Amino acid sequence: MQLPLLTLIVFSPLAGAIILAMLPREPTVGLRRAAFVFSLVPLAFAGWMLERFQPGEADFQFVERARWIPQWGIEYRLGVDGVSLFLVLLTALLVPIVVLASWGDITRRVKEFLAFLLVLETGMLGAFLATDLFLFYVFWELMLVPMYFLIGVWGGARRVYAAVKFVLFTLVGSLLMLIAILYCAWRVQAESGSFAFGYDRFLAVPFTAREQLYLFTAFALAFAIKVPLFPLHTWLPDAHVEAPTGGSVILAGVLLKMGTYGFLRFAMPLFPTAAETLAPVVVALAVVGIVYGALVATVQPDLKKLVAYSSVSHLGFVMLGLFVFTETSAAGSVYQMLNHGLSTGALFLLVGMIYERRHTRLIADFGGLWSVIPVYASFFLVAMLASVGLPGLNGFIGEFLILLGAFGPRPWATAVATSGVVLAALYLLWMYQRVVFGPLTHLENAGLRDLSAREIAVLVPVLALCFVMGLYPAPFFRRMEPSINKMLARLRAPAVVAATPSAEAALHP
Amino acid sequence: MTAIDVAAFTGHWEVALPGVIVAATAMLVMAVDMIVRDPDADALPVLGIAGLAVAAAAAVWLWGESPIGDGFASTLRGDRYALFFTVLLCAGSALTILMSVDFLREHPLPRGEYFALVLLATTGMIFLAAANDLIVLFLALEIMSVAVYVLTGMLRAEPRSIEAALKYFLLGAFATGFLLYGIAFFYAAAGSTRLGVIAGAVAHDGARPFMILGLALVLVGFGFKVALAPFHVWTPDVYEGAPTAVTAFMAVGVKAAAFAAFARVVLAALGGIAVRWSGLLWILAVLTMSVGNLVAVSQRSVKRMLAYSSIAHAGYALIGLVVATPAGGAALVFYLAVYTFMTLGAFGVLLALGRRDEPGEGLADWAGVGFRHPVLGLSMVVFMLSLAGIPPTAGFAGKFYLFSAAVDAGYVGLAIIGVLNSLVSVYYYFGVLVQMYMVEGTRSLVPPGARPCLLATIVVAVLVTLLVGILPAGPMELAREAFASLH
């Protein structure tokens, strides 16, 4: 019998959470170590998966199938392709980092925090790997509950408000998506005589243009709230500001990607006609989000809010790249999902570290940190530049490909979006300047500790990957592109597309 | 009729077996109560639960034997529909008894009468689910109702308990009057109270005025019993005033049994004029869901909130009856089963929060309970998620079944109203979780370990809720077979 690798990846964190729940509450160090080890297990499995993954293969690999609820044709089905491969790896990588980072800021109810984090990991990994829509929905909702607790229990002053807002926003979309999924299953039955929720079965249904419009809207609403697409983003700043550092990292690093992943995996290929019809709307909202997010980020006095709004802007690029339907920009979008997970994750970690020391996140409370904590300032510099999109770091490649692929079909939108790159440089560099450079204006900052070994260990893997992905992207694209192109083959880009080169060709002419 | 119809007592007597066993257990409990005067004796609950287990075993045996014919001159049916509900009602009653043991130890209530009344009410429920004749249905309904009226007023020292009992009794009697009046119209239209004969008359004559009048009046009667809006107004007060274990019993047992009879009458007798009632039930379903959920949002007492939530759940379940396809009916049956366990569990946790001096029903009393009592906390998380319909719990599977049946039958609008209602319900169910986990509190509780029976009830309910949520295929198949036997 073949080893059920994906099941091991998905459920090993849950098993870890259950074991953790049975361990004694004290000493917390033991709990933290145990959780760290448990979170390395799925990472190890995911690494093994990467090693055995066949590049150049567009279809799902390591497929697992089992009957689950035969009355509805629901199956337990997992599979990984080029789109989900690196998102799984990103998730599996960020969780141990968050466990390590929580050493500093989570001091009460440690056991529950770590257990919820591991349950959340199962939900995230399952959502990326599920290829049955019912199973996907179960994992999708499973993510909601632990995140709700992470924000609501370990968050800041307005945590309850933020947690409830997060849940209600997310559920509005996902419940309507549930109805859409049911409708699709019913259509499968009308076509083939029996219910089914398999991804491939949904793809085979010839939905009419009118049906597609409704179904796409229902799916898109769920995903757009998660991304978040302007103007559905209002939950995000609240959730980010109130969430503990680990929660923010997971939220920005992985949960937002659920939205863009959902568009690419489900909403676009399942309902291509509607996606094409509504693409101008989505592109317009994405571009508005890019500029709006950047402008609002510029004027934020609070570091965490600034990073939160920068997410709105960055995810706008991803959405733009997806909805111009060119292979170049779609590849750029998927790449940018990973980039954003790493660089914004790093920024949230760094903001969390300074908050632990000073218990403030206001930019005005800092200044001149370079002379006090140079190691921190250097790490911050790299993360910030990765987020800006400096060539040589990962963010550049993603944004470059998105804009390159988008320019042909939608030159105006691309032109406006490009201003987002400039604005990103503005608000990030200006923020960095006010925090790190200049004279030391606040005496409290004079005695700050520099990064500890643990904190360096938290940051190094993330920032090292930023360099790797910025300097040598080919191995990533080789694995991603066949699957992305296969999904895009169902969609037709508006006008002039044929000329845009593939991502690899664009980078290595 | 001049002489007693002897043939009525022949035929398939075994269809009454589970109900008779429960009735006999009730008598036995009363007798034992007179002999054993030790107030802490565990003999009574053990006896009660054993009797219910035997009755359920009998139902399971009959399930294997089915199809079996009708008994007692076709007034009782032994179809799988009745048997499914028999097992479900026995399970609900057994859990109610288990849940009450510790409560009765702390409160000076007459234990013998309490358990006997629960068992007698269960007898009525079982016959209610099996009744194939409107007069038998009426009798069963009254056996159940009278016992529950008394149970509601059991806390005689508490004014709100007495008020609840009186309110429930007066309004219940009124509703029964409607039901009886409706039965009379059916008799006038069809010349019989047998469901099959009424169905024949409906098929032959269509919707005659008496039939429509009968339908409307019966709808009011059942609407009261299952607490559909706008016949729900009694529910919050009665649910709040009754002892919590009795409230749980009412919320699950009475509702499930009344729903079983309701669905049988509507589908088996009046299925031929579905056009006349499906629109009306559509409106009632939407109204019930919306009123229940919207009013629940503003409740400060968890007990009242659960009362309104039980109204909302009757609305969800009614979707299955509106749809009335095989899938819809099966979804209704499945949902009532799921609802039984998650609601019993939630009331169990509510009971566990109470102390003798103060019931701990206010939302503020739940502050910080989650972290201080992890078992109670996590159990309540499961129940709240399940009631809100979030996977991987049984409540999600139940709602999924209902909504998929609705979409399948073309009721997409009803399904959307259903999910929007679920969204509203998330707000107040999660409100409990907010109190339990995100607000600090110091109110001291009786340690859950000191009430082993109550804890056992909660744990059983959690396990069922999770297991059915993760592996719903088996129970769904049973529900499908049960509903299929109705026709």
What is the pairing mode between strands A74-80 and A61-69?
antiparallel
ipTM score for this prediction:
0.88
Of B371, B426, B438, the CB nearest to A159: B438
Examine the pLDDT at A292 and tell me if it is beyond 90.
Answer: yes
A159 vs B contacts (CB less than 8 Å): 438
Which residue type sits at A195?
F
Of A109, A138, A183, the CB nearest to B391: A138
B415 vs A contacts (CB less than 8 Å): 179, 182
Give me the mean pLDDT over the A275-295 stretch. 91
Examine the pLDDT at A420 and tell me if it is beyond 50.
Answer: yes
Query: pLDDT tens for residues B45-73?
Result: 999 999 999 999 999 998 888 778 777 77
Output the average pLDDT for chain B: 88
Euclidean distance between CA atoms A380 and A435, whole angstroms: 10
- Helices and strands counted in chain A (H then E): 22, 2
What's the pTM value of the predicted model, to 2 decimals?
A: 0.90
pLDDT of residue B461: 94
pLDDT of residue B274: 79
pLDDT of residue A495: 47
- Whether residue B407 and residue A182 make contact (CB cut-off 8 A), yes or no, is yes
pLDDT of residue B4: 55
Structure-block tokens of residue A324: 């111009």
Euclidean distance between CA atoms A342 and A383, whole angstroms: 9
Euclidean distance between CA atoms A215 and A179, whole angstroms: 9
Which residue type sits at A415?
A
pLDDT of residue A499: 47
Give me the mean pLDDT over the A294-305 stretch. 90
Residue B24: Cβ within 10 Å count: 15
Examine the pLDDT at A225 and tell me if it is beyond 70.
Answer: yes
More confident residue, B83 or B357: B83
Give me the mean pLDDT over the B343-368 stretch. 85
Specify the length of chain A in residues. 509
Query: pLDDT tens for residues A141-162?
Result: 999 899 999 888 888 788 888 8
Q: Which residues contact B401 (CB under 8 A, 6 or more apart)?
A: B327, B330, B331, B334, B335, B472, B476
Of A148, A172, A182, the CB nearest to B404: A182
Euclidean distance between CA atoms B135 and A172, whole angstroms: 47
Location of structure tokens 């989900």: A84
pLDDT of residue A503: 59
A50 and chain B in contact, CB less than 8 A: no
Examine the pLDDT at A127 and tell me if it is beyond 90.
Answer: yes
Question: How close B148 gets to chain A, by Cα (Å)?
Answer: 37
Query: pLDDT tens for residues A476-489?
Result: 988 988 888 888 88
pLDDT of residue A506: 60
pLDDT of residue A497: 43
Of B427, B437, B480, the CB nearest to A152: B437
Residue of B nearest to A171 (CA): B423
Ranking A172-176, B143-147, B246-250, B252-256 by mean pLDDT, the lowest is A172-176
A173 vs B contacts (CB less than 8 Å): none
- Whether residue B408 and residue A186 make contact (CB cut-off 8 A), yes or no, is yes
Question: How close B437 gets to chain A, by Cα (Å)?
Answer: 6
Euclidean distance between CA atoms A342 and A461, whole angstroms: 10
pLDDT of residue B256: 94
Residue of A nearest to B408 (CA): A186
pLDDT of residue A501: 54
Euclidean distance between CA atoms B136 and A384, whole angstroms: 78
Instruction: Say if residue A237 is preceded by a cis peptide, omega within 30 of 0.
Output: no
A23 and chain B in contact, CB less than 8 A: no
Output the average pLDDT for chain A: 88
- Whether residue A168 and residue B423 make contact (CB cut-off 8 A), yes or no, is yes
Helical H segments across A64-158, by residue range: 82-105, 110-129, 133-154
b/e for B32-66, b at 16 or more Cβ within 10 A?
bbeeeeeeeeeebbebbbebbebbbebbeebbeee
A172 vs B contacts (CB less than 8 Å): 423
Give me the mean pLDDT over the A63-67 stretch. 88
A448 and chain B in contact, CB less than 8 A: no
Location of structure tokens 């145990």: A34
Of A70, A160, A182, the CB nearest to B438: A160
Candidates A392, A271, A394; CA nearest to A340 is A394
- Whether residue B403 and residue A172 make contact (CB cut-off 8 A), yes or no, is no
Q: Of chain A residues 266-325, which have a CB less than 8 A from chain B?
A: none
Euclidean distance between CA atoms A347 and A306, whole angstroms: 10
Question: Would you say B28 and B51 are in contact if contact means Cβ atoms under 8 Å apart?
Answer: yes
- Whether residue A152 and residue B438 make contact (CB cut-off 8 A), yes or no, is yes
Query: pLDDT tens for residues B8-26?
Result: 566 778 888 899 999 999 9
Question: Would you say A50 and A478 are in contact if contact means Cβ atoms under 8 Å apart?
Answer: no
Examine the pLDDT at B486 and tell me if it is beyond 90.
Answer: no
Q: Of chain A residues 186-205, which have a CB less than 8 A from chain B?
A: 186, 189
Examine the pLDDT at A496 and tell me if it is beyond 60.
Answer: no
Examine the pLDDT at B39 and tell me if it is beyond 70.
Answer: no
Of A70, A148, A179, the CB nearest to B403: A179
State how far the alpha carbon of A216 is from the alpha carbons of A148, A264, A323, in Å: 27, 12, 13
Specify the length of chain B in residues. 487
Euclidean distance between CA atoms A315 and A339, whole angstroms: 11
Query: pLDDT tens for residues B180-227?
Result: 999 999 999 888 888 888 888 888 887 788 888 988 999 999 999 888
Sign of the dihedral defined by the CA atoms of residues B71, B73, B75, B80, in that order:
positive
pLDDT of residue B6: 57
A70 and chain B in contact, CB less than 8 A: yes
- Whether residue A159 and residue B434 make contact (CB cut-off 8 A), yes or no, is no
